[in-house]
Chain A
Amino acid sequence: MSIKQLSVFVENKPGKLLEIVKTLAEAEINIRAMSIADTRDFGILRLIVSDIEKAKEILSDDCVVTVTEVIAVEMSDKAGALSNVLKAFGEAEINIEYMYAFTASTELGAYVVIRVDDNCAAEKVLAQEGIATLDVSAI
């Protein structure tokens, strides 16, 4: 199952990231996972949050935002766990655009958020391999 990720365009200047995080904090929106891709001029902040609709609404006033479907995969916090997941994608020729990893207090202890070019194919592969995906409430 894919989950919704909020991407926010951020100017690469001191204090800009704080403004966004502060806005979310004031609206009592929890950040479950995040990553930043940066270039010289700008960064793209990617967020998995507790209430995406609300987060999108409040950030849209001052920022450019977009919602993307990504996949969250749960795995054991052990050597080789990620390699199993990526092997399955590689064999099915599913391209990974980007990913970010987190450890968490879930049963298995680790998960990655993966952005692929084809969500349907990726979910099918993961199901075949018996690898669990998460919905946002589980993160």
Chain B
Amino acid sequence: MAQHYYQPEIETASREKILEIQNEKIVKQVRHVYDNVPYYRKLMEEKGVTPDDIKSVDDIKKLPFLTKADLRDAYPYGLLGTDLKKCVRIQSTSGTTGKRVVAFYTQEDIDIWEECCARAIVAAGGTNEDVCQVCYGYGLFTGGPGLNGGSHKVGCLTLPMSSGNTERQIQFMMDLGSTILCCTPSYAAYIGESLAEAGYKPEDNKLKAGIFGAEPWTEEMRRSIEKSLGIKAYDIYGLTETSGPGVSFECSEQTGMHINEDHFYAEIIDPDTGEVLPEGSKGELVFTSLDKEAFPLLRYRTRDICVLSRKKCSCGRTHVKMSKPMGRSDDMLIIRGVNVFPSQIETVLLNEGYTPNYQILVDRVNNSDTIDINVELTPEQFSDKVSETQAKEKALESAMRTMLGIGPKVHLVPPKSVVRSEGKAVRVIDKRKLHD
């Protein structure tokens, strides 16, 4: 398949060329932050680092980290890198893990962000002949505005649907012949189900690709969405702190996401010691934005656990690839001392023939953690015999125990009874927090 790039020169640049760009940008960026962000300047001073110590990206490891806690402390203006007069926009996180993060953008920041999203759309096969339906939430959430801007840059006919109102999503999709769908993977799965319920077969829609992100999803879920919508599903990654979606994106190879290295420098660190780990190691992903003006975070700890790879990619892009995050410390549950990721539970469900509609309930009873998983039953799994239906629960419990290392209680529930939001799925209810 012929490869297309939005910015071919930079996307396929040699390693040396990319390093040259990064080295040049980091020197300027550290100076910019030191001069304009007193909060970070103080952190640098505490560590005894000055801008003169940073001569190339190799020196980034000397810089202090920023964490979500810093963003909270500095809320709202403490990490602002420019005069507010130069800022044209804010975006904000959903606030699911505490206080909201507010990120600022200059027009230049927005242009770069939208270019990154445009690269992702072109990598998914997008051209100016495509009809791009964006059903990420619009507003403070970065999903809608990011992909909307990217779609404009590519020249797609953009459908700014925002999330929700599935009936209308389907009507526009069918009437206007949407070819690219951008939303969260759980909403894509929901649209797939709704299309089937409305009597449409996968080949009835004109979709060819989907760009899905903003929440963790598994390979099994990818296959299930690809089948139900008749498309190729591409992952996209980003976070409000660094701009939004488009920090990295998948190409036709679907084996990891190319990080836009001309704008973001990525490191993998040991989450406990903060030490930088060599390529190929699993650890926490840390980003340094190389050219953001308004919200220039240096060494921001994402809490996402993943692996970086510089293996040559068949798509021709030369930028480093990150694996799909294998877990997220905000998401990670520690149950009876064992680390449990919701993605592991989803893998078991899809392997056993269930839908990825589940909810995890964690509680503490008599000082011991309990984990219950509500799983939606499918007609294929249902028997009129109590013993057989209970055996299904037992089989799931046993598969979960093997995968997680602890034994959850599984409860089969009727379809559509698991709370499903049209944006992000509410997968975990941790009642222990109420007691602490």
Instruction: Give residues in A with beta carbon < 8 Å to B.
Output: 5, 7, 9-11, 37, 39, 41-42, 44, 46, 60, 62-66, 68, 97-98, 115
Q: How many A-B residue pairs have CB under 8 A?
A: 51
Nearest chain A CB to B59's CB is how many angstroms away?
A: 58
Q: What secondary structure prevails in chain A residues at the interface with B?
A: strand
- B416 interface residue (CB < 8 Å to A): yes
Identity of the chain A residue whose Cβ is nearest the Cβ of B409 in the assembled complex: A41
A11-B413, A41-B412 in contact; A64/B377 too (CB < 8 A)? yes
In the assembled complex, 18 residue pairs joining A and B whose CB atoms fall closer than 8 Å, in A order, are: A7-B382, A7-B383, A7-B384, A9-B382, A9-B389, A9-B412, A10-B414, A44-B385, A46-B384, A60-B379, A62-B415, A63-B415, A64-B378, A64-B414, A65-B382, A98-B385, A115-B384, A115-B385
**Which of A42, A46, A60, A63 touches B412 (beta carbons < 8 Å)?**
A42
Which one of B378, B379, B384, B415 has the greatest number of beta carbons of chain A within 10 Å?
B384
A39 close to B390 (CB less than 8 A):
yes
Instruction: Give residues in B with beta carbon < 8 Å to A.
Output: 377-379, 382-386, 389-390, 411-417
B384 close to A66 (CB less than 8 A):
yes
* Distance between Cα atoms of A10 and B389 in the complex (Å): 12
Instruction: List chain A residues, Cβ under 8 A from B377.
Output: 9, 64
Beyond contacts A62-B415, A64-B379, A98-B385: 13 other A-B pairs, Cβ-Cβ < 8 A, are A7-B382, A9-B377, A11-B417, A39-B386, A41-B411, A42-B389, A42-B411, A42-B413, A44-B389, A62-B414, A62-B416, A65-B379, A115-B384
B384 close to A44 (CB less than 8 A):
yes
Identity of the chain A residue whose Cβ is nearest the Cβ of B372 in the assembled complex: A41
**Which of A5, A44, A62 touches B386 (beta carbons < 8 Å)?**
A44
Identity of the chain B residue whose Cβ is nearest the Cβ of A45 in the assembled complex: B384
Nearest chain A CB to B377's CB is how many angstroms away?
A: 5
**Which of A5, A64, A98 touches B415 (beta carbons < 8 Å)?**
A64
Instruction: List chain A residues, Cβ under 8 A from B384.
Output: 5, 7, 44, 46, 66, 68, 115
